[in-house]
Amino acid sequence: MQTIRMDMTAGVDPEEIRQAGEVLRRGGLVAFPTETVYGLGGNAFDPEASRRIYAAKGRPSDNPLIVHIARMEDLPRAAREVPEAALRLAEAFWPGPLTMILPRGDEVPKETTGGLDTVAIRMPDHPVALALIEAGGGFVAAPSANTSGRPSPTRADHVWEDLQGRIDVLIDGGEVPIGLESTIVDLTEETPVILRPGYISQAMLGEVLGTVSYDRGLTSEDPSVHPRAPGMKYRHYAPKAPLTIVEGSPEEVVRCISRLADEEARSGGCAGIIAGDDTAGQYGSGLVRSIGSRTQEITIAHHLYAILREFDDLGVSVIYSEAFDTPQLGRAIMNRLLKAAGHQVLQA
């Protein structure tokens, strides 16, 4: 299959969006930008399209997809029940980086929800995504547009690397603004539960809903406590080289990582180092990448996946990362980093 690439970095092209929407209506696959990461879209009501999404990504088919909508009026078609809490969250955060788990609407086939009787729904905050969803019929199932196991794509070139020749269309919308996947909140239980941390924090959700809890499976050391979002159990976002997170005071961390990078060089390898803007200049060896500023947390979220991909391309033999427990986005950033590291953490 030849993948058609459409350039919408300067904005929505109505004629090309119409064509891409046509591809979705016929059951084809279109990768597109959102404000979080690039998505791999197919018609959410078409079981064949969902099967194609799983095949293109090499994703296990028990891992459900998120249904993307563009208009509030469409929510009751995707969800069987829309509780008051969902309406309040939509009012506060949609369009935006929040996914809600609700009872599955009858029109959503089980192929899209990985066999579950609940469905993940979100309205993305990106003009290209919204225009495409409308053109494609209103309901677009879309996981992140990476090959299963690779970091999520934050640029069209990342999608191209992973999925070229396996999808019908790739729409280039430039770099995405956030760079981490949406927050997922489950509204099907008594108390709302965060299943995946993201840009919308527990505190932000709490302001709208009151009590919001955090899935124990995300933080538990006990391997028998599984995360409730099926996708969170996989070792996602994995770079090719083993990644270790080093914690401690900034001075200790720099000293520890420098020593490890020296050792790696002496044994013929090359360490990739993920550092904050403040410390990046202090390393003597290794390939250092500055991820962003701890005082502007969004810059860290924005660069994380691109740096992991870059280290794959450069073929480093190990990766060491500083920890980024920043106040607002720290939980989301560390969740992704810990998963990429397979939870390997070293105290400096």
Which positions lie near ligand TXA, rule CB under 6 A? Answer: 34, 36-37, 39, 63-66, 99, 101, 113, 116, 118-120, 122, 124, 142-144, 181-182, 184, 195, 229-232
* Phi then psi dihedrals of residue 84, to 5 deg: -50, -40
Least spacing, CB of residue 19 vs ligand TXA, in Å = 21
Q: What secondary structure does DSSP assign to 286-299, as a single string?
A: SEEEE--BTTBHHH
Judged by DSSP in three states, 77 sits in helix
Q: Whose Cβ is closer to ligand TXA: residue 70's or residue 142's?
A: 142
Does the protein bind Mg ion through residue 144 (CB under 5 A)? yes
* Residue 27: Cβ within 10 Å count: 16
The one segment of 21-29, 107-115, 137-145, 330-338 that binds Mg ion by CB under 5 A: 137-145
195-209 CB burial, b ≥16 within 10 A, e <16: bbbbbbbbebbeeeb
Does the protein bind Mg ion through residue 182 (CB under 5 A)? no
Sheet holding 243-247, edge to edge: 287-290, 271-275, 318-322, 243-247, 345-347
Q: Whose Cβ is closer to ligand TXA: residue 65's or residue 306's?
A: 65
Q: Whose Cβ is closer to ligand TXA: residue 205's or residue 254's?
A: 205
Least spacing, CB of residue 110 vs ligand TXA, in Å = 11
For the CA atoms of 37, 42, 47, 50, the dihedral, rounded to the nearest 10 degrees, stands at -40
Least spacing, CB of residue 113 vs ligand TXA, in Å = 5
Q: Whose Cβ is closer to ligand TXA: residue 37's or residue 241's?
A: 37
Q: Please tell me the distance from the alpha carbon of residue 188 to that of residue 81, in angstroms, as a whole number.
A: 10
Amino acid at 333: I
Q: How far apart are the first and last CA of the chain?
A: 49
Q: Whose Cβ is closer to ligand TXA: residue 135's or residue 260's?
A: 135
Least spacing, CB of residue 133 vs ligand TXA, in Å = 11
228-238 CB burial, b ≥16 within 10 A, e <16: bbbbbeeebbb
Which of ligand TXA, Mg ion, none sits in contact with 285, Cβ below 5 to 8 A by type?
none
Q: Whose Cβ is closer to ligand TXA: residue 46's or residue 264's?
A: 46
Alpha-carbon 17 to chain mean position? 23
Q: Whose Cβ is closer to Mg ion: residue 21's or residue 64's?
A: 64
Which of ligand TXA, Mg ion, none sits in contact with 142, Cβ below 5 to 8 A by type?
ligand TXA
Does the protein bind Mg ion through residue 99 (CB under 5 A)? no
Which of Mg ion, ligand TXA, none sits in contact with 182, Cβ below 5 to 8 A by type?
ligand TXA
Q: Whose Cβ is closer to Mg ion: residue 144's or residue 182's?
A: 144
Least spacing, CB of residue 158 vs Mg ion, in Å = 12
Least spacing, CB of residue 245 vs Mg ion, in Å = 21
Q: Please tell me the distance from the alpha carbon of residue 234 to that of residue 268, in angstroms, as a whole number.
A: 31
Least spacing, CB of residue 207 vs Mg ion, in Å = 27
Crossing angle between the packed helical segments 84-93 and 202-209, to the nearest 10 degrees: 130
Judged by DSSP in three states, 21 sits in helix
Binding site for Mg ion (CB under 5 A): 144
